[in-house]
């Protein structure tokens, strides 16, 4: 295995970690599943196919059957669409909004920065689960509403992070040189600041994705997220919770699916490929 | 020095109060977005136009939203939380007992987890990069990455299903003995402890390691201090600020975790009350519970800020 | 002959680079130190002097380890001892004075607790006795209020005081050997004198041996008995101070000495000066930061009543210590910090105070180059793009024409064309500073503001940059405003020099008069505080105590 990592290292100039590779593989796996799920489920997702409910893992039903007798494996595969899909859309929106506003605030400064920062700081006063709860209680939980709510909860954090990074870069001499040259704000943001914060911003993207997956699962678990007949992984745990005293696979495997995704993303962020900086070359 | 600290604390207090007001506005506004007429929903079958009009008048729903908002705020300030839409009882009565339960749960959890987590975190920093550290770090990363209900389900599987030491669900309304009470609290407390300890361990470990990398800790080593002395005498006092901050933040996580834990274990606390209220669309109850939660959350965050300020030696002297 | 206090034999220290490769950073160094003598380790950055100094304590920074050799200090081989055994000697037999005392003190503990800590760790004497001894040391080091200064916290005392306190911290246990790691590098010259004097007297009194690490030859001349010259982890030459300074043998030592000697500056002849307008004409400028007060001045007023002019083809130096406002002056001229009052004229035309209102052409003709090349170049852009942008922005050059011009610029600063594909992180400090210059030249300016551009560079590299600046001036008829705290640099390149103190111009004089002919009391103090390459300089230095007290920010 070390042979593989050192070869990649030498060829690409990046120092790659075994852990990082494995996590990337898991993430890729779920991404592909999310895309092709309807084509590969062994049983139709909503149909009762087993006489026994909470059946154990068997050759017919790889991950057992759920509280109604439906195939857990198929439902997990379809659940990937919702968990991964909703979270991905939400995190992309949140980070796009947050990073853009953060950079603009850092470069322009002044009143715009002050007002925006105070306004977004107010979002900090409400714990995320609570916010989700209240919004769902008010507006219901259709998928667009879920996505917007998740975006609203996590965009301020992304803004604060990106703004802090951008402010840091803004004080560096090369930005001052560009300013002294007469460059405008758009050039500064696009050419000077963005390339230098891309790394940490992507790591934050990954972290935020994990937060969103966890929050979404939590909301679904409370019955406030993805509603029947659809089910994301959190909802799967909720509907099968009565099987817990019997250690039914139907309760455990959806959780494992969530854990595999979130742990992999965290692992990958910790083990991002590091560029080799060898001065002797 | 006192003047500066005083000013900073007063500032934080002010921010907290403003945030509370904003939150109250948001909560009130959110609950007004509900589709459908409240009076109609409540009357259900009996919703004749006259009954609806009478009820609206009685509930004061014909006044403008802004007026109702201020009335509600005034009521809150006086401790009058209004009546539940569902049971018509004063909300204060509903909440009081449940709030106690939740605070008990949170208190016991904090009592266990804070000393445990801080010790583990500091030890992990002390023995950085040893096997002990790697194991601790691995476990904490895993626990942080997974949803709370997963920790809960695993705890149930291990302690209730396999070992059969504890009951799977807790019926806290019929506490007969101390032993019984312990059994009921055990599962929720274990779950919550895992969740917030992981956070605290991670943050305190990071704080101590960061302090260990400072030039003055290297200087201590060069004076002949052992690693233990360097950590205890030099690093810890300077890491106390970030660590206390971490503790306050982690305890604020409890507020989120408690929602899941009370639901899954059927524990009669205020979080479960709130979740049920959402299911039944009991607006005043939802509003009140949310305000209490946010209040607690804001106090913890403000505490974390104030501790950070006090811990800065430049301000203290 | 008594046993040497230090015997280094063939020391080899390795390190791991980012890519996992192992490199040897100390390549077989050997030297001795006899009891009571002070040996200086001099060399440029990267020569390994700090690494060797720390190894005398048995300590290596992370990523490095001792590969081979003996480090015998007072009879114990630090290389072979266990970590616990080494800890027994650190602070007791051999102690360390750090480069930045401000960072080496724990901000949360009182000064006296930290000063006596080493005595407590090694249980040499009870706390009370240690405190008394500490106060005596404070007196010997000429610290103000020796009885009470220990009760304060690090942020309540100045940099010079902290440096002397760290000396007390090192001496409390009566060590046999003290390691000085560039302790005066971060201090102003006027403060440096006091600190050096204090070190010298205390060391002589106790007959303590020392190893002094520095890159500043003049400082070394005052304080060391012998000098070891280091380059890239190897000793180039060792000898007595007199011999190294006046009769160096090794070619590298000679190179170092010649870079250190100030060269007289010959300005370029202009010809008819009667009708020429000054390039820069600054009148009655006040500038600062923060919101405006009622009198129109900013809350933190930094520059006061600035008046000077600069003729084309001439260079103006601006010297002063930290806090004198010299960098602020550069920023005010560049438009980065609009003055609250006064006018700035450029080639006869008035410049609008702030950037936004100046024309692109005006911005083009004044360029600014900064001190830290690391932060002055965008780490994510290759050199070619960095140089290409001003060409595009000011002259609209694109495509082949732009590439050709980039090649010309690289040539002008004497760098290979292949460097255009590199990223800044792959370049050395000197190369980065040349790119900075090239970027300024890309605009085809008339005036270049140089803000401490050689201060972060090694002496040899800095000398080369100054040569380059002079050549470019001849080729392109530029004018420079050269800001620096280093008098010899200013001497090497400027026609006239302004002396600044607390935001005001205290004096202006031709550079040739600087050494002997300064008029203002502060100028004289500043110039006389710069160490000379004469071993008797410090002892023979006479400075008026009253004037020192008046101008010091002790």
Q: Do C87 and B224 touch (CB under 8 A)?
A: yes
In three-state form (DSSP H/G/I as H, E/B as E, the rest C), the secondary structure along C189-244 is: HHHHHHHHHHHHHHHHHHCCEEEEEECCHHHHHHHCCEEEEEECCEEEEEEEHHHH
Pairing assessment for the beta strands C209-214 and C226-231 based on DSSP bridges? unpaired
- Indicate if C466 and C499 belong to the same structural domain: yes
Q: What is the rounded CA–CA span in Å between residue A60 and residue A46?
A: 17
pLDDT in tens, B93-150: 888 888 888 988 999 999 999 999 999 999 999 888 899 999 999 899 899 899 999 9
Question: Directed axis angle between helix B283-310 and helix B2-32, to 10°?
Answer: 160
Residue whose C-alpha is closest to residue B192's, from B257, B249, B112, B246? B257
Q: Sorting pLDDT into bands at 50, 70 and 90, what band is C270?
A: low
* Distance from the A125 Cα atom to the nearest Cα atom in chain B, whole angstroms: 6
* Distance from the C106 Cα atom to the nearest Cα atom in chain B, whole angstroms: 5
ipTM: 0.83
Extents of the domains making up chain A? 2-275
pLDDT in tens, C32-41: 999 989 999 9
Sort out which chain A residues have CB atoms less than 8 A from C377's CB and list them.
174
More confident of the two residues C494 and B35: C494
Contact partners, residue B92, CB within 8 Å, separation at least 6: B79, B80, B81
Q: Do B278 and A127 touch (CB under 8 A)?
A: no
Boundary of a domain, candidates C260, C292, C307? C260
Q: Length of chain C in residues, anyone?
A: 554
- Indicate if C230 and C118 belong to the same structural domain: yes
pLDDT in tens, C44-83: 877 888 899 999 999 988 888 998 899 999 888 988 888 8
- Indicate if C201 and C71 belong to the same structural domain: yes
Number of A/C CB contacts below 8 angstroms equals 67
Sort out which chain A residues have CB atoms less than 8 A from C394's CB and list them.
181
Q: Do C372 and A173 touch (CB under 8 A)?
A: yes
CATH class of the region A2-275: mainly alpha
Sort out which chain B residues have CB atoms less than 8 A from C122's CB and list them.
224
Number of B/C CB contacts below 8 angstroms equals 68
Residue A281 pLDDT: 30
Q: What is the rounded CA–CA span in Å between residue A23 and residue B80?
A: 53
Q: Do C104 and B216 touch (CB under 8 A)?
A: yes
* Cβ atoms C529, C543 nearer than 8 A: yes
**Is C360 at the interface with chain A, CB within 8 A?**
yes
Q: Do B223 and C121 touch (CB under 8 A)?
A: yes
Whose tokens are 């201020």? That residue is B70
Supply the CATH number for residue B180's domain. Answer: 1.10.3720.10
The domain tally of chain B equals 1
More confident of the two residues B67 and A91: A91
More confident of the two residues C17 and B174: C17
pLDDT in tens, A79-133: 999 999 999 999 999 999 999 999 999 998 889 998 898 888 877 778 888 888 8
- Indicate if C298 and C441 belong to the same structural domain: yes
- Indicate if C210 and C313 belong to the same structural domain: no
Q: Sorting pLDDT into bands at 50, 70 and 90, what band is A276?
A: very low
Of C23, C360, C425, Cβ closest to residue A277: C425
- Indicate if C252 and C179 belong to the same structural domain: yes
Boundary of a domain, candidates C230, C260, C290? C260
Contact partners, residue B89, CB within 8 Å, separation at least 6: B83
Q: Of all residues in chain A, what percent carry a pLDDT higher than 90?
A: 42
Residue C59 lies in a domain: yes
* Distance from the C443 Cα atom to the nearest Cα atom in chain B, whole angstroms: 42
Q: What is the rounded CA–CA span in Å between residue B50 and residue C304?
A: 80
Of C19, C375, C390, Cβ closest to residue A173: C375
- What mean pLDDT value characterizes chain C? 88
CA B127 to chain centre: 31
Residue C539 lies in a domain: no
Residue A101 pLDDT: 94
Sort out which chain C residues have CB atoms less than 8 A from A280's CB and list them.
17, 21, 23
Strand partners, A14: A275
Q: Is the pLDDT of residue A166 over 90?
A: yes
Question: In sequence order, what DSSP letters do the residues of C53-120 get, joined into one string?
Answer: HHHTTT---TTEEEEEEEEEETTEETTTS-HHHHHHHBTTTEEEE-S-HHHHS-TTS-HHHHHHHHHH
- Indicate if C172 and C47 belong to the same structural domain: yes
Residue A5 pLDDT: 61
**Is C383 at the interface with chain A, CB within 8 A?**
no
Q: Do A196 and C378 touch (CB under 8 A)?
A: yes
Q: Is the pLDDT of residue C407 over 90?
A: yes
* Cβ atoms C325, C450 nearer than 8 A: no
Q: Indicate the burial class of A216 (C-beta count within 10 angstroms; 0-12, 13-18, 19 or more).
A: buried
How many C-beta neighbours within 10 Å does residue C467 have? 14
Sort out which chain B residues have CB atoms less than 8 A from A129's CB and list them.
256, 259-260
Q: Do C117 and B225 touch (CB under 8 A)?
A: yes
pLDDT in tens, C171-187: 999 899 999 998 888 78
CA B55 to chain centre: 37
- Indicate if C202 and C287 belong to the same structural domain: no
Residue B178 pLDDT: 66
Residue C205 lies in a domain: yes
Contact partners, residue B19, CB within 8 Å, separation at least 6: A122, A124, A125, B298
pLDDT in tens, C281-305: 999 999 988 888 888 888 888 999 9
The domain tally of chain C equals 2
Residue B32 lies in a domain: no
- Indicate if C200 and C301 belong to the same structural domain: no
Of A174, A180, A278, Cβ closest to residue C335: A180
Of C54, C88, C156, Cβ closest to residue B224: C88
pLDDT in tens, B240-287: 888 988 888 888 888 888 999 988 888 888 898 888 888 777 778 888
Q: Do C103 and B216 touch (CB under 8 A)?
A: yes
Q: Sorting pLDDT into bands at 50, 70 and 90, what band is C428?
A: confident
Residue C554 pLDDT: 43
More confident of the two residues C85 and B53: C85
- Indicate if C251 and C299 belong to the same structural domain: no
pLDDT in tens, B177-217: 666 677 778 888 999 999 999 999 999 999 999 988 889 99
The chains in contact with chain A, meaning 3 or more Cβ pairs closer than 8 Å, are B, C
pTM above 0.90, yes or no: no
Residue span of the structural domain in which C57 resides: 6-260
Residue C211 lies in a domain: yes
Mutate to test the interface with B, among C90, C101, C104, C123 (most CBs of B within 10 A): C104
Supply the CATH number for residue C51's domain. Answer: 3.40.50.300
Residue span of the structural domain in which B235 resides: 92-309
| Nearest-by-CA chain A residue for C394 | A181
Could you tell me the two tokens for C398? Answer: 């694109």
- Indicate if C484 and C514 belong to the same structural domain: yes
- Indicate if C171 and C94 belong to the same structural domain: yes
**In the predicted model, what is the mean pLDDT of residues C91-98?**
91
């Amino acid at each position: 295995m070390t042979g593989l990592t050192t070869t990649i290292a030498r060829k690409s100039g990046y120092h790659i970690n075994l852990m990082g590779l494995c996590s990337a593989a898991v993430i890729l796996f779920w991404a592909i599943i999310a895309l092709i799920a309807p084509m590969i489920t062994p049983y139709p997702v909503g149909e009762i196919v087993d006489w026994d409910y909470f059946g154990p893992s068997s050759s017919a039903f790889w991950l057992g059957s759920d509280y109604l007798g439906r195939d857990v494996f198929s439902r997990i595969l379809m659940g990937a669409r919702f968990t991964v899909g909703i979270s991905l859309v939400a995190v992309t929106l949140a980070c796009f909004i947050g990073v853009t506003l953060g950079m603009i605030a850092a470069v322009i400064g002044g009143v715009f920065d002050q007002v925006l920062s105070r306004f977004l700081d107010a979002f900090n006063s409400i714990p995320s689960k609570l916010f989700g709860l209240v919004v769902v209680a008010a507006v219901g939980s259709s998928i667009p509403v879920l996505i917007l709510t998740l975006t609203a909860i996590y965009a301020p954090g992304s803004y604060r992070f990106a703004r802090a990074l951008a402010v840091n870069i803004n004080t560096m001499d090369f930005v001052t040189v560009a300013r002294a040259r007469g460059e405008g704000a758009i050039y500064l943001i696009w050419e000077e600041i963005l390339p230098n914060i891309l790394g940490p911003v992507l790591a934050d993207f990954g972290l935020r994705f994990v937060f969103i997956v966890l929050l979404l699962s939590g909301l679904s678990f409370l019955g406030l997220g993805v509603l029947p007949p659809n089910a994301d992984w959190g909802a799967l745990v909720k509907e099968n919770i009565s099987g817990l005293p019997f250690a039914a696979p139907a309760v455990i495997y959806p959780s494992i699916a969530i854990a595999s995704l979130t742990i992999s993303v965290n692992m990958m962020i910790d083990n991002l490929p590091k560029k080799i900086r060898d001065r002797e070359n | 020095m006192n003047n500066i600290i005083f000013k900073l604390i007063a500032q934080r207090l002010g921010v907290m109060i403003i945030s509370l007001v904003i939150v109250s506005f948001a909560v009130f506004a959110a609950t007004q977005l509900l589709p459908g007429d409240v009076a109609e929903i409540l009357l259900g079958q009996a919703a004749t136009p006259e009954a609806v009009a009478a009820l609206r008048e009685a509930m004061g729903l014909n006044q403008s939203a802004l007026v109702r908002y201020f009335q509600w705020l005034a009521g809150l300030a006086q401790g009058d939380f209004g009546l539940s839409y569902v049971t018509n009882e004063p909300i204060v009565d509903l909440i009081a007992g449940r709030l106690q339960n939740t605070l008990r749960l949170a208190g016991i959890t904090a009592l266990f987890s804070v000393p445990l987590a801080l010790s583990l975190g500091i030890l992990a920093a002390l023995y950085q990069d040893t096997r002990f550290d790697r194991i601790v770090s691995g476990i904490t990363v895993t626990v942080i990455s997974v949803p709370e209900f997963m920790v809960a389900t695993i705890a149930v599987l291990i302690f209730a299903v396999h070992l059969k030491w504890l009951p799977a669900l807790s019926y806290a309304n019929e506490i007969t003995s101390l032993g019984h009470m312990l059994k009921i609290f055990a599962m929720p407390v274990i779950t919550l402890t895992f969740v917030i300890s992981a956070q605290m361990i991670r943050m305190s470990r990071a704080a101590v390691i960061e302090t260990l990398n400072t030039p003055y800790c290297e200087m201590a080593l060069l004076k002949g201090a052992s690693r233990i002395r360097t950590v205890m005498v030099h690093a810890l006092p300077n890491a106390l600020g970030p660590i206390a901050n971490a503790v306050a933040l982690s305890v604020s996580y409890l507020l989120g975790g408690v929602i899941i834990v009370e639901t899954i274990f059927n524990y009669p606390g205020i979080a479960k009350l709130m979740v049920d209220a959402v299911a039944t669309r009991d607006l005043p109850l939802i509003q009140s519970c949310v305000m209490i939660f946010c209040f607690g959350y804001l106090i913890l965050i403000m505490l974390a800020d104030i501790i950070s300020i006090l811990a800065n030696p430049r301000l203290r002297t | 002959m008594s046993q040497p206090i230090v015997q280094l034999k063939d020391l080899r220290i390795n390190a791991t680079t980012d890519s996992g490769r192992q490199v040897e950073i100390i390549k077989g160094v050997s030297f001795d130190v006899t009891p009571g003598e002070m040996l200086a380790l001099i060399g440029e950055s990267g020569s390994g002097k700090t690494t060797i100094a720390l190894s005398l304590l048995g300590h290596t920074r992370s990523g490095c380890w001792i590969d081979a050799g003996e480090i015998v200090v007072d009879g114990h081989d630090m290389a072979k001892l266990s970590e616990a055994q080494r800890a027994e000697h650190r602070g007791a037999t051999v102690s360390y004075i750090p480069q930045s005392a401000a960072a080496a003190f724990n901000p949360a503990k009182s000064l006296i607790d930290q000063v006596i800590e080493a005595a407590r760790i090694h249980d040499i004497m009870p706390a009370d006795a240690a405190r008394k001894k500490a106060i005596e040391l404070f007196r010997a080091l000429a610290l103000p209020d020796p009885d009470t200064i220990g009760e304060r916290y690090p942020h309540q005392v100045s940099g010079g005081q902290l440096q002397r306190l760290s000396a007390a911290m090192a001496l409390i246990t009566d060590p046999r050997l003290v390691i000085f790691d560039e302790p005066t590098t971060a201090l102003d010259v006027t403060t440096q004198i006091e600190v050096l004097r204090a070190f010298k007297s205390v060391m002589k009194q106790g007959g303590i041996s020392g190893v002094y690490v520095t890159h500043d030859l003049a400082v070394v001349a005052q304080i060391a008995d012998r000098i070891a010259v280091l380059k890239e982890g190897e000793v180039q030459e060792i000898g007595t101070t007199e011999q190294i300074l006046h009769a160096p043998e090794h070619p590298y030592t000679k190179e170092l000495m010649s870079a250190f000697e100030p060269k007289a500056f010959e300005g370029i002849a202009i010809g008819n000066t009667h009708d020429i307008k000054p390039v820069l004409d600054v009148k009655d400028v006040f500038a600062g930061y923060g919101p405006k007060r009622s009198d129109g001045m900013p809350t933190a007023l930094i520059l006061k009543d600035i008046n000077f002019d600069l003729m084309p083809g001439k260079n103006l130096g601006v010297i002063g210590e930290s806090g004198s406002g010299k960098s602020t002056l550069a920023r005010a001229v560049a438009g980065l910090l609009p003055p609250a009052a006064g006018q700035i004229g450029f080639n006869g035309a008035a410049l609008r105070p702030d950037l936004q209102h100046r024309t692109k052409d005006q911005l083009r003709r004044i360029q600014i180059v900064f001190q830290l090349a690391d932060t002055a170049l965008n780490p994510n852009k290759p050199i070619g793009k960095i140089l290409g942008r001003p060409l595009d922005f000011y002259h609209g050059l694109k495509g082949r024409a732009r590439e050709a011009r980039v090649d010309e610029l690289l040539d002008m600063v004497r760098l290979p064309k292949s460097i255009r594909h590199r990223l800044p992180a792959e370049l050395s400090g000197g190369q980065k500073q040349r790119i900075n210059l090239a970027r300024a030249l890309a605009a085809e300016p008339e005036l270049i503001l140089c803000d401490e551009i050689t201060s972060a560079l090694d002496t040899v590299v800095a000398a080369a940059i100054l040569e380059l600046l002079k050549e470019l001036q001849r080729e392109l008829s530029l004018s420079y405003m050269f800001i620096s705290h280093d008098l010899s640099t200013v001497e090497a390149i400027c026609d006239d020099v302004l002396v600044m103190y607390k935001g005001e111009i205290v004096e202006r004089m031709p550079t040739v008069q600087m050494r002997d002919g300064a008029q203002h009391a502060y100028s004289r103090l500043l110039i006389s505080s710069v160490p000379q390459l004469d071993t008797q300089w410090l002892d023979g230095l006479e400075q008026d105590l009253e004037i020192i007290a008046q101008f010091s920010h002790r």
